[in-house]
């Protein structure tokens, strides 16, 4: 049972988000001596000049827009075509501007749609009410009645900013900042240089021996559909003293659907100090909309010592719970290849993910920051790129979309939501081969263990002992949840879990091919394998992930194999995915120069322990149930606090690894509340929750028996069992402002609640000690008369009042 204490529940004061779960594996004794190094401090690669990161001399046109061009952020759709709709009438019209291909899933930032004065909400699918979304560069509108001609209006203020960003005179940027761009074409994103025509950039460089120039060409399209480039010529010139040599020229077509590789041999100037000039030239009539893009432009040379070229392979396994892998103690042969890999690596037996879902967990793993600080933080890949490494990312989960900034700092970021493990391995090996002479960092993500559990033969039925012949070939989370509400047999459960195991076995086999291919390239290879979260198979009565904070969801795979191997050493110190960033920087000898919340795991790999590892670890941020927060204390105890109800849970993970016995009622929870406050950097303590249902809108004054530390309104989203996906553009049905406002008095002995238009909600009052509500006064106006009431104990053990139309 979860713990409740009347109205005086524990309060965690933080902007509403969500939380996580975890899966406990036993603590095997070390099977090998600690690792003794070295890392990747020494490189044999030649210097690489990443031209977009080096300031040069610039000649740029003020604008590439026609004189008649007028930028706008508001558009009237004259007419829309009717199309079939399941419930409502549906209408389509071509958008007057370009949107990224991912806009079919996400709302373009800042875009709004109106029919007359009515704002229509964005939705990723047709629901029961009016909505809009984008489909194949068209606006798709569902509405009760056909919109009148000219009544549909699009407001998109970001378009003006996008146009200005492409116009040097209007950008307000220095040339070096102006030319730096990131371009998304279909499923690929690249960092690089935008060079409007006619334009030049020059760099004075000493070229390395065996120098080669490489870039990836494309045309940046103007946001508005009012014109198109007629093509651009891009020219590479070397100036050696008085001699000027054009050594390469390429034409970029008006519309590009993919990046075109361009490689030029510069070896004849190896060892010389020369001027490198890149130019964009008008190809035909004028320079209108001529925005040439050069992705990841680099000049690199032959390696000084091929045996010391450095490679970091950072593998992210989606939805992989450790206790379904052999080297973590699973009794089924799901991972023989990974087991062999782990036997020559360093295995972390108690690693936690910061969330039971993809986006916050991988954000932490790829930035080294806890989820609340990871949004907008510097990516690990960007740090490596800034230090001269070639960087790439191949991912297959829609939540790793460039929209969320995962691609920032990567020469190449490719999102293919249909990619199989085999395809990902092929792409990874190709990336390493293309960059075989450079220090290289690759983030490689595998989606296969995630639903829909469709491993290829012979893996698909490898673990199915008793098939359920009625199980659909393809099913989703919500179907399984629905089956569970009626009759979900053990046979079907076992079949579903067997399909999951098949995906792990298939992925393990492909990883073995990847590891062998990487070793065949020689050099120094550092490999890190981790998982973003686990998967529940009814351990606590549920299925899949993103709905609890128990260990089956929040324990993570974490294995590190240094260049010299790790001998199978096991680390039982509690760690987190937040530690990966600091570890990679330490192993590569990089001074990151960016904040890190984690700690380098290298001392633990070397067998060194210390008090710095006795830190509380975060695990939270779920979406598919009501908000709660967890903290892991010294790896032994997990404390969970539910935002809306105040329920508390405490588990001894050593004696109760399946988290079945809640110790909250029999334990002093003060130390665990303090640990949570320290972990999240927010107040956690005893307080009140006041559930209100106001039908009238006069302010209400609460007179408190003791000074409060803080008072406010819980975000209604935190109380919802299935919250809005804000990152996808969904709008919550109710906000704090809808509930009202709270103003705490200067002496903190009272506060005034002013109801909003939808005043039902939950207020919180945080104290520095337990305070009984008895005798607290509530003052409100009703029918022009001020009434004063006292909070009283109700039949259910809570406290409250009820008077007329107002109540709590």
- Judge contact between 778 and 725, C-beta under 8 A: no
Category of 281 on φ-ψ map: left (φ > 0), alpha (ψ -120 to 50) or beta: beta
CA distance 90 to 146: 8
**For the chain, how far is it from start to end, CA to CA, in angstroms?**
25
Dist CA 681 CA 618 (whole Å):
11
Contact 295, 216 (CB under 8 A): yes
Average pLDDT of 574-592?
98
Bond prior to 198 in cis (omega within 30° of 0): yes
Q: Is the pLDDT of residue 506 over 90?
A: yes
Q: Say if residue 235's pLDDT is above 80.
A: yes
- Find the mean pLDDT for residues 478-493: 93
**Token pair of 503, please?**
């995906």
- Here the tokens at position 657 are 């690894």
Least confident of 220-229, 422-431, 591-600: 220-229
Residue 789 has pLDDT above 90, yes or no: no
Residue 696 reports pLDDT greater than 80: no
In the chain, how many domains are there? 4
Question: Does the pLDDT of residue 587 top 70, yes or no?
Answer: yes
Q: Residue 22 falls within a domain, yes or no?
A: no
Helix-, strand-, coil-residue percentages of the chain, each rounded to 5: 20, 30, 45
If you ran DSSP here, which 8-state letter would residue 325 be given?
S
Instruction: Name 408's Cβ contacts closer than 8 Å, sequence gap at least 6.
Output: 182, 191, 379, 382
Q: What is the CATH number of the domain that holds 500?
A: 3.40.720.10
Alpha carbon distance 582, 600 (integer Å):
5
Rounded mean pLDDT, 517-526:
97
pLDDT score of 21 more than 70 = no
Q: What is the pLDDT of residues 600-638, one digit of tens each?
A: 999 999 999 999 999 999 999 999 999 999 999 999 999
Tokens of 66: 């026609």
- Judge if 79 and 54 occupy the same domain: no
Q: Does a cis peptide bond (omega within 30 degrees of 0) precede residue 391? A: no
- Choosing from 253, 286, 302, the residue where a domain stops is 302
**Quick one: average pLDDT of 40-67?**
95
Residue indicated by tokens 């590190």: 560
Work out the pLDDT band at 47, boundaries 50, 70, 90: confident
Please tell me whether residues 646 and 549 are part of one structural domain: no
Cβ proximity of 51 and 193 under 8 Å: yes
User: What was the pLDDT predicted at 615?
Assistant: 97
DSSP 602-651: HHHHTT---GGG---EEEB--SSSS-EEEEEETTTEEEEEETTT--EEEE
Is pLDDT at 5 greater than 50 in this prediction?
no
Pairing of strands 138-143, 131-135: antiparallel
Residues in the chain, total: 808
- Residue 30 in domain: no
Residues 279 and 152 in one domain: no
Q: Are residues 470 and 578 in the same domain?
A: yes
Shared-domain flag, residues 510 and 579: yes
Question: How far is Cα 140 from Cα 95, in angstroms, rounded to an integer?
Answer: 10
Neighbour count for residue 238 (Cβ, 10 Å): 23
State how far the Cα of 175 lies from the Cα of 282, in Å rounded to an integer: 20
Indicate if 203 and 89 belong to the same structural domain.
no
| Cα separation, 334 vs 314, whole angstroms | 21
- Read off the pLDDT of residues 92-131 as tens digits, 9 standing for 90 and up: 999 999 887 665 578 888 999 999 999 999 987 766 678 9
Average pLDDT over residues 765-792: 81
Residue 24 confidence (pLDDT) above 60: no
Domain residues for the domain of 395 are 307-618
Q: What is the pLDDT of residues 652-695, one digit of tens each?
A: 999 999 999 999 999 999 999 999 999 999 999 999 998 887 65
Look at residue 3 and give its three-state secondary structure: strand
**Residue 31, in any domain of the structure:** no
Same domain, 366 and 412: yes
Pair of tokens at residue 761: 């909600």
DSSP 665: G
pLDDT tens per residue, range 339-394: 999 999 999 999 999 999 999 999 999 999 999 999 999 999 999 999 999 999 99
Q: What is the DSSP string of 235-277?
A: EEEEEETTEEEEEEEEEEPSS-SS-EEEEEE-GGGTT-EEEEE
Q: Which of 179, 434, 432, 169 is nearest to 294 (CA)?
A: 179
Mean pLDDT of 455-473: 96
Q: Which two tokens stand for residue 161?
A: 């900013």
Question: Which CATH number do you get for residue 62?
Answer: 2.60.120.1060
- Residue 581 pLDDT level (bands cut at 50, 70, 90): very high
pLDDT, residue 2, reads: 43
Same domain assignment for residues 368 and 428: yes
Strand partners, 415: 395
Q: Is residue 34 part of a domain?
A: no
Give the residue from 618, 642, 657 where a domain finishes. 618
Q: Can you tell me the mean pLDDT for 231-242?
A: 98
152 in any annotated domain = yes
Alpha-carbon separation of residue 654 from 26, 350, 558, 636 (angstroms): 8, 11, 20, 6
Amino acid 310: pLDDT? 98
pLDDT of residue 227: 86
Residue 78 shares a structural domain with residue 64: no
457/442 same-domain check = yes
The residue among 322, 314, 313 whose CA lies nearest residue 347 is: 322
pLDDT digits (tens, 9 = 90+) for 260-282: 999 999 999 999 999 999 999 99
* Whole-angstrom distance, CA of residue 105 vs CA of residue 125: 9
Which residues on neighbouring strands pair with residue 11, listed in sequence order? Answer: 685
Which domain-ending residue is among 258, 282, 302? Answer: 302
State the pLDDT at residue 30: 47
Cα–Cα dist 242/274, whole Å? 10
240 Cβ contact partners less than 8 Å away, ≥ 6 residues apart: 269, 272, 274, 275
Instruction: Please determine, for residue 11, whether its predicted confidence score (pLDDT) is greater than 90.
Output: no
Dist. CA 678–CA 683, nearest whole Å: 9
Assign 3-class secondary structure to 117-179. CEEECECCCCCCCCEEEEECCEEEEEECCCCCCCCEEEECCHHHHHHHHCCHHHHCCCHHHHH
CA 639 to chain centre: 25
Tell me: pLDDT of 728 over 90.
no
Q: Is the pLDDT of residue 23 over 50?
A: no
- Percentage of residues in the chain having pLDDT higher than 70: 92
Burial class (CB in 10 A: 0-12, 13-18, 19+), 741: middle
463 and 488 together in one domain: yes
Residues 133 and 262 in one domain: no
For the cut 50, the answer to whether the pLDDT of residue 4 exceeds it is no
Tokens (6 digits) for 3? 């713990």
Cα–Cα distance between 467 and 241 in angstroms, integer? 76
């Amino acid at each position: 049972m979860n713990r409740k204490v009347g109205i005086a529940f524990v309060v965690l004061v933080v902007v509403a988000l969500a939380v996580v779960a975890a899966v406990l594996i036993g603590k095997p004794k070390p099977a090998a001596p600690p690792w003794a190094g070295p890392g990747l401090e020494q490189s044999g690669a030649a210097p690489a000049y990443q031209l977009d990161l080096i300031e040069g001399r610039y000649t740029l046109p003020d604008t590439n827009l026609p004189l008649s061009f007028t930028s706008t952020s508001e558009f009237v759709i004259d007419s829309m075509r009717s199309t079939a709709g399941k419930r409502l009438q549906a209408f389509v019209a071509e958008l007057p501007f370009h949107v990224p291909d991912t806009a079919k899933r996400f709302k373009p930032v800042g875009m709004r749609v109106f029919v007359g004065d009515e704002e229509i909400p964005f939705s990723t699918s047709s629901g029961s009410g009016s909505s809009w979304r984008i489909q194949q560069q068209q606006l798709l509108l569902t509405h009760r009645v056909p919109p009148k001609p000219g009544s549909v209006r699009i407001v998109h203020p970001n378009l003006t900013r996008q146009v200005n960003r492409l116009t040097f005179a209007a950008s307000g940027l220095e040339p070096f900042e102006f030319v730096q761009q990131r371009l998304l074409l279909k499923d690929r994103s690249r960092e690089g240089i935008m060079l409007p025509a006619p334009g030049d950039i020059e760099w004075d460089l000493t070229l390395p021996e065996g120098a080669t120039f490489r870039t990836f060409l494309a045309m940046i399209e103007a946001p508005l559909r009012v014109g198109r480039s007629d093509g651009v010529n891009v020219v590479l010139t070397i100036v050696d003293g008085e001699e000027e040599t054009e050594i390469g020229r390429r034409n970029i077509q008006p519309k590009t659907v993919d990046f075109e590789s361009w490689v030029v041999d510069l070896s004849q100037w190896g060892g010389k100090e020369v001027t490198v000039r890149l130019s964009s030239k008008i190809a035909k009539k004028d320079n209108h909309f001529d925005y040439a893009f050069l992705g990841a432009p680099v000049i690199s040379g032959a390696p000084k010592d091929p045996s010391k070229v450095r490679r970091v392979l950072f593998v992210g396994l989606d939805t992989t719970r450790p206790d379904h892998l052999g080297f973590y103690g699973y009794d089924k042969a799901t991972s023989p290849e990974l087991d062999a890999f782990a036997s020559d690596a360093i295995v972390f037996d108690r690693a936690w993910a910061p969330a039971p879902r993809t986006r916050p967990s991988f954000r932490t793993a790829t930035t080294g920051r806890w989820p609340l600080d990871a949004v907008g933080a510097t990516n690990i890949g960007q740090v490596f790129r800034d230090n001269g490494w070639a960087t790439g990312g191949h991912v297959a989960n829609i939540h790793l979309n460039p929209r969320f900034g995962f691609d920032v700092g990567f020469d190449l970021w490719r999102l293919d939501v249909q990619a199989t493990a085999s395809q990902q391995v092929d792409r990874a090996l190709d990336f390493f081969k293309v960059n075989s002479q450079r220090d290289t960092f690759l983030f490689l993500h595998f989606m296969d263990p995630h639903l829909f559990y469709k491993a290829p033969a012979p893996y698909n039925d490898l673990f199915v002992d008793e098939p359920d012949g009625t199980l659909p070939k393809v099913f989703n989370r919500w179907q399984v949840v629905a089956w569970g509400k009626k009759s979900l047999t053990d046979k079907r459960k076992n079949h579903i879990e067997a399909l999951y195991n098949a995906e792990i076995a298939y992925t393990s086999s492909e990883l073995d091919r990847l590891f062998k291919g990487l070793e065949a390239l020689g050099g120094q290879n550092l490999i890190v394998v981790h998982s973003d979260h686990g998967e529940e198979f009814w351990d606590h009565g549920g299925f899949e992930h993103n709905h609890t904070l128990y260990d089956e969801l929040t324990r993570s795979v974490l294995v590190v194999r240094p260049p010299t191997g790790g001998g199978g050493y096991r680390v039982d110190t509690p760690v987190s995915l937040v530690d990966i960033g600091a570890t990679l920087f330490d192993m590569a000898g990089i001074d990151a120069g960016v904040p890190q919340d984690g700690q380098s795991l290298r001392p633990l790999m070397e067998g060194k322990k210390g008090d710095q590892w006795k830190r509380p670890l975060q695990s939270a941020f779920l979406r598919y149930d009501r908000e709660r927060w967890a903290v892991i204390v010294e790896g032994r105890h997990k404390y969970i606090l539910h935002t809306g109800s105040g329920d508390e849970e405490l588990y001894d993970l050593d004696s109760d690894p399946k988290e079945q016995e809640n110790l909250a009622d029999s334990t002093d929870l003060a130390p665990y509340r303090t640990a949570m406050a320290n972990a999240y950097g927010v107040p956690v303590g005893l307080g009140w929750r006041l559930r209100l249902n106001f039908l009238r809108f006069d302010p209400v004054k609460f007179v408190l028996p003791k000074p409060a530390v803080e008072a406010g309104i819980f975000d209604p989203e935190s109380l919802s069992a299935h919250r809005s996906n804000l990152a996808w553009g969904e709008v919550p049905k109710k906000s704090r402002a809808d509930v009202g406002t709270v103003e705490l008095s200067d002496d903190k002995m009272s506060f005034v609640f002013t109801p909003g238009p939808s005043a039902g909600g939950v207020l919180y009052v945080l104290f520095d000690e337990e305070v009984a509500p008895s005798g607290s006064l509530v003052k409100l106006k009703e029918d022009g008369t001020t009434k004063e009431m006292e909070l009283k104990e109700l039949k259910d053990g809570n406290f409250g009042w009820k008077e007329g139309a107002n109540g709590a």
